[in-house]
């Protein structure tokens, strides 16, 4: 993989539209006046020299136990290189710590560098042009040390992210804009993540594992051959039993055909009786209506007869009392 050229020697510029964090996200030590000390690389004659050996150049992933907060840009008397500041887990802040994920958790969550690298702030930064020469050299030295770590063969991605966050936290403590540097570091680590994922997938497709599976399949095929012989014997027995059952099935089919014939005859008779039953029901309903009508008519006639008899009796009494009683 080709190494991407670092912009460490270029002026630091603020990226347009890039989101950042407030200054409260940076872990800051209490305001204590530091003891007099020379800046990193100070030789006493006014020159700032890059030390031949710094903590960040160590190939092992070690940190000094003492935690020291980055000094403000205006005072460089107590500055230290990024690895002299005990780092918190990458992505952590003073009020929102983030746990360091295991390799298995990183694989499951598909961690992206853009989510766990410390983003540059949008405000409170100082362009490189206003820095003094010593601070400029310090910033370039810090960036160069990180780039050397990123380009060292054999360093895993988690180690790179930890080193990058340590350096970015240091630059943020200097109040300088490291947006361009952050973007280049993030891109490089992303490519390393992609490579690591591809290598993991390649490992799962190991030829040795496939060869082992192939030999196991051959052995299993031999066992299956013996099983085939036993299965063929059982198959012959099953065929004989099947022929016996087929003869019984033929006899049962004839019996079923006879029963089906009788069933059809009985269905026809059932249909005929149902039709006769429907006719009888209709006749009963018709006669019932006629009976109800006749009963109503007879009741009316009975009422008329009774009324006529009562009228006859009344008129008879009237005639007798009026005409026959006078003749006596």
What does the pLDDT look like over 237-294, one tens digit per residue? Answer: 999 999 999 999 999 999 999 999 999 999 999 999 999 999 999 999 999 999 999 9
Rounded Cα distance between 184 and 169, Å, is 16
Would you say 71 and 78 are in contact if contact means Cβ atoms under 8 Å apart? yes
Please tell me the predicted confidence (pLDDT) of residue 229: 87
Structure tokens at 105: 């958790």
Please tell me the predicted confidence (pLDDT) of residue 299: 95
- Angstrom CA distances, 16 to 79, 120, 183, stand at 29, 12, 12
Would you say 12 and 128 are in contact if contact means Cβ atoms under 8 Å apart? yes
Q: Which residues of the chain have pLDDT under 70?
A: 1-115, 121-130, 206, 326-328
Please tell me the predicted confidence (pLDDT) of residue 125: 60
Angle at 174 between CA 168 and CA 177, to 5 degrees: 65
Please give the helix or strand (H or E) that residue 1 lies within, else none. none
Please tell me the predicted confidence (pLDDT) of residue 314: 93
pTM of the predicted structure, to 2 decimals: 0.36
Residue with tokens 């490992």: 203
Would you say 117 and 182 are in contact if contact means Cβ atoms under 8 Å apart? yes
Residues 6 or more apart whose Cβ sits within 8 Å of residue 155: 59, 149
Instruction: Find how far residue 189's CA is from the centre of its chain.
Output: 26
Would you say 145 and 6 are in contact if contact means Cβ atoms under 8 Å apart? no
Please tell me the predicted confidence (pLDDT) of residue 211: 78
Please tell me the predicted confidence (pLDDT) of residue 133: 82
């Amino acid at each position: 993989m080709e190494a991407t050229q670092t912009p460490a020697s270029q002026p630091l510029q603020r990226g347009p539209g890039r989101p950042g964090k407030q200054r409260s996200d940076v872990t800051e030590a209490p305001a204590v006046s530091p003891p007099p000390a020379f800046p990193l690389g100070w030789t006493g004659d006014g020159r700032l020299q890059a030390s031949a050996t710094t903590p960040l150049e160590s190939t092992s992933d070690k940190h000094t136990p003492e935690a020291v907060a980055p000094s403000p840009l205006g005072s460089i008397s107590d500055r230290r290189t990024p690895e002299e500041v005990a780092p918190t887990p990458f992505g952590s802040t003073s009020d929102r710590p983030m746990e360091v994920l295991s390799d298995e958790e990183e694989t499951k969550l598909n961690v992206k560098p853009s989510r766990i690298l410390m983003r540059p702030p949008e405000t409170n930064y100082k362009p490189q042009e206003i820095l003094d020469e010593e601070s400029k050299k310090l910033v370039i030295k810090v960036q160069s040390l990180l780039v050397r770590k990123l380009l060292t063969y054999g360093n895993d991605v988690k180690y790179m992210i930890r080193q990058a966050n340590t350096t970015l936290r240091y630059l943020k403590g200097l109040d300088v804009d490291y947006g361009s540097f952050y973007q280049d570091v993030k891109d490089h680590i992303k490519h390393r993540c992609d490579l690591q994922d591809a290598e993991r997938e390649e490992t799962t497709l190991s030829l040795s594992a496939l060869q082992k599976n192939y030999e196991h399949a051959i052995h299993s095929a031999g066992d299956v051959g013996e099983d085939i012989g036993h299965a063929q014997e059982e198959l012959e027995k099953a065929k004989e039993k099947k022929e016996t059952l087929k003869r019984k099935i033929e006899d049962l089919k004839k019996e079923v055909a006879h029963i089906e014939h009788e069933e059809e005859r009985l269905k026809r008779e059932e249909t005929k009786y149902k039709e006769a039953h429907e006719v009888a029901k209709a006749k009963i309903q018709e006669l019932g209506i006629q009976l109800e009508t006749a009963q109503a008519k007879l009741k009316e006639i009975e009422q008329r007869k009774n009324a006529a008899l009562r009228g006859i009796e009344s008129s008879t009494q009237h005639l007798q009392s009026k005409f026959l009683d006078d003749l006596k």
